[in-house]
Amino acid sequence: MEAAARWSPFSTEDRQRFLLVDVTDQSLTLNQISYRTYSHASSFQVARYGRLPNFGAFDWSKTDESIVALGLVSGSACLVKLNEGDRPSETVATFKLRQQRKCNSIALSQQNWLAVALDRTRSDACLNIFDASGHQESSSEPIRRLCPAEVVSSVRFSPRHPETLLVAAQRSFIRLYDLRDGYFGNNNSAQVATRNVNNIAIDPLDDNYFASAGSSGDPSVTVWDRRWMQSGATAGSGAAVFDFQSPVDSVAPTTIWSLRYSGQQRGRLAICSSRGELKVIDMTEGRSSLLNASEFLPANTHGGQSWTHNRYVSQTRTVQQPCDEEPSIESSTKLIAFDWIPADFRIAHQEVLALRPNRRVDVLRVPRTVSQATITARHDMTASFDDVSIVEPAVPISPIALLTDVREEQTAEDFGPLAYEGESLHDHVEDEKLVLQMDATQLPNMLVGSTLQRERCRRGYLLDCAKNMAIVAGDWQLERLWEIIHRFRRQATRDSMIAERQHLDLGYIGVAAVCDAQIGKNSNRKLSFATGKVEDAIVDLAASRGLPPFEGERTRYPEVRQLCLEMCGWMFRQEDLEEECRELADRGLHYQAVVQAVLHEYKHVALNLLRSLIRSKTVPNIGLGALLAADKINDEQREMCLWMAADTNDPALKALLAFLTTGDWRDVMKTNYLHLGYRVALGLKYLNDSELVGFIQSETARAIKNGDLEGILLTGLGERSMDLFQTYITKTNDLQTAVLASAFTNPRYVDDVRFDMWKETYFTQMQSWRAFTERSQFIVQHSQLATTKDGHNLLDPSSGQVSLRCNHCQLSLAKYNRGARKDYRNSTLQTATKASMAASASAGIVCPKCQRHMPRCGICRMWLGTPDPTRRGGAKELSKLDDVMAKFLTFCVSCEHGFHAHHAKSWFQKHATCPVPDCRCLCTIR
């Protein structure tokens, strides 16, 4: 690297400084920012020290802004002081060596200890530690000598523990030294084996994690956890948390020049390559594993285990693209060095100081997230910079107008709904672009969809169809779904869909199954070994249910059509029709109520309803009554119907006017003015047998392809409904509705492994929502639905619903799980805990699945839930204590730190701040 830039840790808002280290010019320059924009910074020189001895390493003092440590090519180290004003800069101390060789790295600690890493020599130590606190003279001897006859390529002091030193030695190991220890043999230090031994960088927000890079031409980066480092010469690479083989663009030979942690966001690492690329990687340590073990995961034929780690890369982004090889471009835009600029953590971005080859300094913005608004699966929202921009269509349009042109272009072969377009549609779009601040009142309304399923669960969204319709009111697709399922369930009440003579159960089958006489392959449909034909069962059911004779198109299967009409909600009595029309009118669906009456060929009911609506001035008088009363209409009236249909946005009125124009409901079926239930009923009334079969088949295939929930009317809740729900989940991510709807027939009529997988996933969701009561209610209600006619329950006995679960992996704390998954869990348990359970058991209570302890007490630092292991009989002594609080645990709901209750009581009687270091939470103030 030819130059480097470092932002001053002593900078303030009014006094922003940075250090420019020029290895080529052999100079140090302290600059102060005079003006800074989003992309450029102007500065002036505060102090400079030029014509320095050749050096190849440097470090800036953590306690004195004017002191810089230099590692000279000769192997010596020196401290230089950058004096401001007229005073010249000077060398205040020099630390010489017995044998000259190159200095590879240098580090200054907060205690002003100076670590000098050197090339290998046989007769001397290659890592010397000096005490630079008093700027001793050049004759001073090292206070520690480490790594004899071992080349040391990189060295760093821990930011929070200055007595701890990370050292890259022998080009094969990274060692951890505690300088308080009196013995420094190699076998006594913790170490890891790796080839990535350059540019060690420690996360200042969590010094357990550090990164290292490969040598020249090797662009690999490894992130380590020092808590996993092992002592002894045989230590392996098990402490690696992440191993990035090529995190930067490596189409051309590339070397990692610099690694820098953000210092503002934990786990954020920036990587600078020799080609000028700047890559930022965000690493996260979650509270639980991203992937819990499941029997429904695909089998791994290559060996190994599923990913069960709670550490993962949450995001990567390229801030600066690699430059081309053209010299003209390199000289102007290539990034050669950088450093993070600390800022307020509430700001949506962090800035980077970028150094160019001509020593020009620019400012790069690194957003905390990608530059867009995104809602993640964890119900988090990421917003771009300071504002959220919502782009809408330029011309205000309504959903009905949006669909009009599409409907007009459809043909008789184009029956069926359009592709599903989301949970809801707004009737009007007011603004072309709406920009919301992060504290805008509209933002919570925008985010309601992310917690919609949890809110529905809280309100009792289970297996009560009537209650579910009330919960999803306003979402017409879900309303229609639960209306159809409610009709199926009412049909099957008291085994009224069982054909006794044929010993067949036709419960919850759809229109397509009745028309095709295919009720599925599940053995529970057959109540005896000797069963009759499905066609005969349909005839008997139509008679036993008291359905009137069919009136409509001539057909060979009148009983089939009557039973299907009942599934569509067809009203066979005038009293029932009038009651339903009144309910539709009360809900504001005035023209749909009129269409319902006309569809049933009760024009007098439609005229009476329309008359009352006009007299109450609910709807305007547009002459619709005269058109309904007339047996035939002339050309002028037909033309009037056409222009009225073009002017209205009400789909029911459009359908009625289309019928009045032609006098044929078949023309209305070619449009999407009426929902699927009405169009299927029209097909049953007015299509011949061959046309009806083609219509039902095309509509069923279209519903499955589009994931249209109203298609459940055709598929029923049988085997084909699982394909429809699969598409619906893919398009909407609404697993909740699919599980609840398919629970009516799984496993009684359908045996599909997808339902078990969906149900387990939904149970995991409910566990994360802490919806324990709702989950138990679902299990009870589902068990009632899974009971056959003879009282046999098809579900496996469920384990107790109240259990202790790990706060990290959300799995049971029981060592062995019960039920069908026992063998699977036991195999996972044996492989995951075979080596560690013995040691963990003696240390205290651990989760048998993820081996995580309960948190440590923030005051005594002992594991919560365990007696003091240093005292014999600790549990017995604890039981004798008079202080009841000594037996309990307490947690802060704000910072989530845990304490022994009596320790917390004693602490917070004298203090208000959390006792955990670096936590500023006022735990006792809400």
Cβ(85)–Cβ(132) under 8 Å?
no
In angstroms, the CA 773 to CA 775 distance is 5
In angstroms, the CA 826 to CA 439 distance is 49
Task: Quote the pLDDT of residue 429.
Answer: 38
- Lowest pLDDT segment from 92-96, 627-631, 717-721: 627-631
Residue type at 547?
L
Cβ(491)–Cβ(507) under 8 Å?
yes
Beta strands in 96-172 (DSSP E): 103-108, 113-118, 125-131, 144-148, 152-157, 164-169
Question: 300 pLDDT exceeds 80?
Answer: no
Through-space distance between the first and last CA atoms of the chain, rounded to whole angstroms: 51
- Lowest pLDDT segment from 111-115, 199-203, 227-231, 720-724: 227-231
Q: What are phi and psi of 161, to 5 degrees?
A: -130, 85
**Sign of the alpha-carbon dihedral angle for 643, 646, 650, 652:** positive
Task: Quote the pLDDT of residue 54.
Answer: 93
Does this model's pTM top 0.75?
Answer: no
In angstroms, the CA 638 to CA 658 distance is 9
Question: 89 pLDDT exceeds 90?
Answer: yes
Question: 643 pLDDT exceeds 80?
Answer: yes
In this structure, the number of other CB atoms found within 10 A of the CB of residue 486 comes to: 16
What is the separation of C-alpha 795 from the centre of its chain, rounded to a whole number of angstroms?
Answer: 32
In angstroms, the CA 596 to CA 606 distance is 8
User: Which secondary structure element, helix H or strand E, spans residue 67, and what is its range?
Assistant: strand 67-72
User: Which secondary structure element, helix H or strand E, spans residue 477, and what is its range?
Assistant: helix 476-491
Question: 879 pLDDT exceeds 80?
Answer: no
Max distance between CA atoms of the chain, in angstroms, equals: 119
SS3 923: coil
Task: Quote the pLDDT of residue 595.
Answer: 87
Task: Quote the pLDDT of residue 822.
Answer: 40
Pairing of strands 113-118, 103-108: antiparallel
Beta bridge partners of 312: 284
> With bands split at pLDDT 50, 70 and 90, how would you rate the model's confidence at 284?
confident
> With bands split at pLDDT 50, 70 and 90, how would you rate the model's confidence at 235?
low
Half-sphere exposure of 48 toward its Cβ, with a 13 Å CA cutoff? 9
Beta bridge partners of 313: 283
In angstroms, the CA 95 to CA 148 distance is 18
In angstroms, the CA 525 to CA 575 distance is 35
**Percent of the chain with pLDDT strictly greater than 70:** 77
In angstroms, the CA 76 to CA 82 distance is 19
* DSSP, res 111: T
Better-predicted residue by pLDDT, 345 or 394: 345
Q: What are phi and psi of 436, to 5 degrees?
A: -115, 135
Task: Quote the pLDDT of residue 369.
Answer: 60
Q: Which residues contact 91 (CB under 8 A, 6 or more apart)?
A: 78, 79, 80, 81
Residue type at 213?
A
In this structure, the number of other CB atoms found within 10 A of the CB of residue 187 comes to: 11
In angstroms, the CA 459 to CA 455 distance is 6
C-alpha distance from residue 532 to each of 369, 494, 515, 562 (Å): 64, 21, 17, 21
Beta bridge partners of 364: 352
Instruction: Summarize pLDDT for 433-480 with one digit per residue, the tens.
Output: 445 555 566 556 555 555 888 999 999 999 999 999 999 988 889 999
Instruction: Summarize pLDDT for 509-542 with one digit per residue, the tens.
Output: 999 999 988 888 888 888 888 788 989 999 999 8
Q: Is omega for the bond preceding 747 within 30 degrees of 0, making it cis?
A: yes
Q: What are phi and psi of 206, to 5 degrees?
A: -155, 90
User: Which secondary structure element, helix H or strand E, spans residue 176, and what is its range?
Assistant: strand 173-178
Cβ(34)–Cβ(42) under 8 Å?
yes
CA nearest to 487, candidates 717, 786, 726, 751: 717
SS3 437: strand
Residue with tokens 């020249």: 216
Mean pLDDT to the nearest integer, 583-610: 85
In angstroms, the CA 852 to CA 813 distance is 11
SS (H, E, C) 556-582: CCHHHHHHHHHHCCCCCCHHHHHHHHH
Cβ(657)–Cβ(628) under 8 Å?
no
Question: 642 pLDDT exceeds 60?
Answer: yes
C-alpha distance from residue 455 to each of 445, 452, 472, 758, 774 (Å): 13, 5, 11, 19, 12
Both tokens assigned to 474: 């306003």
Both tokens assigned to 75: 């192997």
What is the separation of C-alpha 83 from the centre of its chain, rounded to a whole number of angstroms?
Answer: 52
> With bands split at pLDDT 50, 70 and 90, how would you rate the model's confidence at 380?
low
Instruction: Summarize pLDDT for 103-142 with one digit per residue, the tens.
Output: 999 999 999 999 999 998 888 889 999 988 876 554 578 8
Instruction: Summarize pLDDT for 148-160 with one digit per residue, the tens.
Output: 889 999 999 999 8
CA nearest to 377, candidates 807, 896, 778, 761: 761
C-alpha distance from residue 698 to each of 414, 668, 695, 704, 910 (Å): 9, 17, 5, 10, 76
Burial label for 825, CB within 10 Å (0-12, 13-18, 19+), is: buried
